[in-house]
Amino acid sequence: MALPPDVATRQRVDVRRLGVALLGLASVASLLAWVYGLGPFRTWFLLTGLPAAIALPSLGVVTRRRGPDGLRLALVAGAIGGIAGTIGYDVFRVPFVVSGLRLLAPIDSYGVLLLGADGSSSWTGFAGWAYHFSNGIGFGIAYACVALGRSWRWGVLWGLVLETATIVTPFADAYALRGKWDLIAIAYAAHLFYGAPLGIIVQRAVHSDRQRPLVLPAWVVLGGLLVVLLVWLRPGTVSPDDRAGRAVAPGPSAVVVAGRLHPEWSRVRPGQCVALLNRDKRPYPLPDGRTLPAGGRAELCLNGTGVHRVRLSDAPYSGGFVLIDDQS
């Protein structure tokens, strides 16, 4: 027996929303694949994240012209809500970062992995933050596709679900978070500030004008975000210290200036070492048991995989990071 036209249309819209929700989650697939040991981050992003990043704006244009309003509203409200939520999430963490906690460090690693670089740079910084926001936007779109018009409290729950996913997956091991309950508590609290703005925007979207007031700001907000990232991170610029660090030796290398590594991040394969040159007038103990003499050289060799915090002193921002990538 044929379904009534309104029921059939509603079901088609629901199927479309489910498909778009899956596209919204595609961005994080590369990170999950990497922490699960399924292959290089960069390869998975090219297979999943990049096509989704192209498809979602394209769908926004198509649905603006001839698509069902519910799908269009979900795309637009989810994108704007995802950006607002990501900003809220990061702003909440700023005081902790200022106090010395390296809560934003994973964002830099995303860019290093995405570009397959030996070390961090202004380009990896830009790529990492762009990926960070693409995840926030994708999560927002996925949420809006299933919760459009619902209470904002569901957005808060969605934020907590996302943080729980980082704890129950190998992400916690790759980024050395397992058992660090102070950092985990901060992360859960920060996700409240992601979920609340997202939930409020998605709830109110159905009560707003269904024409320009929601479509136009989406492109303005996305464009504004891109401009801010370009101005802030200045991709393509290279500091003298970073340039000197890359020249220490072929492959991953860095210089130590004022107790900090330049570049701050080095990416190596298992068993590979980072060549270090100390420009300071004091020696530093290395986490592998070696000593980096004042004005001298040494190799930093670490075991395991994932992200390793390299502390050279008790100063909050001393040293840097080594990312041991067994999927490269």
Residue-wise pLDDT for 280-311, tens only, equals: 999 999 998 889 999 999 999 999 999 999 99
| Enclosing domain of residue 82 | 5-233
Could you give the CA distance from residue 7 to residue 2 in angstroms, rounded to a whole number?
10
As beta bridge partners, residue 160 has none
Same domain, 71 and 211: yes
CATH number for position 269: 2.60.40.420
Q: How far is CA 130 from CA 27, 98, 122, 138, 290, in A?
A: 11, 22, 12, 12, 37
pLDDT score at 11: 41
Same domain, 124 and 15: yes
- Cα angle 60, 65, 66; round to 5: 100
Same domain, 58 and 34: yes
Instruction: Provide the H-helix boundaries in the chain.
Output: 5-25, 29-35, 41-44, 50-66, 69-98, 105-115, 122-147, 153-168, 171-174, 181-205, 212-233, 240-246
DSSP letters along 230-248, please?
HHHH-TT---HHHHHHHTS
- The pLDDT tens digits for 231-259 are 999 999 999 999 999 999 999 999 999 99
Same domain, 51 and 74: yes
Rg (CA), the chain: 22
Token readout for 147 is 């919760």
Same domain, 129 and 259: no
Domain end point (choices 170, 201, 233): 233
Same domain, 27 and 120: yes
Could you tell me how many residues make up the chain? Answer: 328
- The pLDDT tens digits for 257-266 are 999 999 999 9
What is the pTM for the complete model shown?
0.91
Higher-confidence residue of 294 and 58: namely: 294
Residues 35, 38, 43, 45, Cα dihedral to 10°: -50
Domain end point (choices 214, 233, 252): 233
Could you give the CA distance from residue 154 to residue 150 in angstroms, rounded to a whole number?
7
Token readout for 243 is 């340039």
Sign of the four-CA dihedral 71, 77, 79, 85: negative
Higher-confidence residue of 36 and 8: namely: 36
Same domain, 286 and 183: no
Same domain, 144 and 290: no
**Mean pLDDT within 149-164:** 96
Give the residue from 141, 134, 70 showing the smallest Cα distance to 107: 134
Q: How far is CA 220 from CA 72, 200, 264, in A?
A: 16, 20, 33
Neighbours of 99 (CB within 10 A): 9
**Mean pLDDT within 121-140:** 97
Same domain, 225 and 311: no
Q: How many independent structural domains does the chain possess?
A: 2
Same domain, 26 and 132: yes
In the three-class reduction of DSSP (H, G, I as helix; E, B as strand; rest coil), residue 57 is classed as helix
Same domain, 18 and 162: yes
Same domain, 98 and 169: yes
pLDDT score at 212: 45
Domain end point (choices 216, 233, 250): 233
Could you give the CA distance from residue 79 to residue 299 in angstroms, rounded to a whole number?
45
